[in-house]
């Protein structure tokens, strides 16, 4: 569970849309478990957010919920893996 990451893309040439969403589980500076998210236009400005979690299970549940939400909004999984 620790070290899981997922990269999602939503690309639509007709709408000039090329977006990414990256989700990763791992330790943060102050917490043993956290979910890191980065998103934005591919090759452009990106934003990020770190969500601290109390357990590995909570972090995995949050990451799974975020992936399902992005898939529901038209993103597709490009790569998924464990470190």
65 neighbors 48 (Cβ within 8 angstroms): no
pLDDT higher than threshold 70 for residue 1 = no
Per-residue pLDDT of 27-57, as tens digits, reads: 988 889 999 999 999 999 999 999 999 999 9
Look at the chain and report how many structural domains it folds into: 1
Domain annotation covers residue 56: yes
Quote the mean pLDDT of the chain.
92
Look at residue 2 in the predicted model and tell me its pLDDT: 43
What are the beta bridge partners of residue 45? none
pTM score: 0.87
CA angle at residue 9 from 40 to 58, to 5 degrees? 80
Inside any domain, residue 73: yes
Compute the C-alpha angle 49/75/8, nearest 5°. Answer: 55
Report yes or no on 83 lying in a domain: no
Q: Alpha helices, DSSP H only, in the chain?
A: 56-72
**58: which 2 tokens?**
């909570």
Domain that holds residue 26: 4-78
Any idea what the CATH number is for the domain that residue 68 is in? Answer: 2.20.140
- The answer to the question of residue 72 being in a domain is yes
Q: Rounded distance, CA 67 to CA 76, Å?
A: 9
Does residue 4 register a pLDDT over 50? yes
């Amino acid at each position: 569970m620790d070290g899981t990451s997922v990269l999602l893309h939503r690309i639509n040439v007709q709408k000039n849309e090329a977006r990414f969403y990256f989700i990763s589980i791992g330790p943060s500076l102050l917490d043993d478990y956290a979910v890191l998210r980065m998103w934005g236009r591919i090759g452009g400005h990106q934003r990020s957010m770190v969500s601290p979690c109390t357990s590995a299970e909570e972090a995995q549940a949050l990451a799974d919920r975020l992936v399902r939400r992005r898939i529901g909004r038209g993103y597709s999984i490009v790569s998924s893996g464990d470190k």
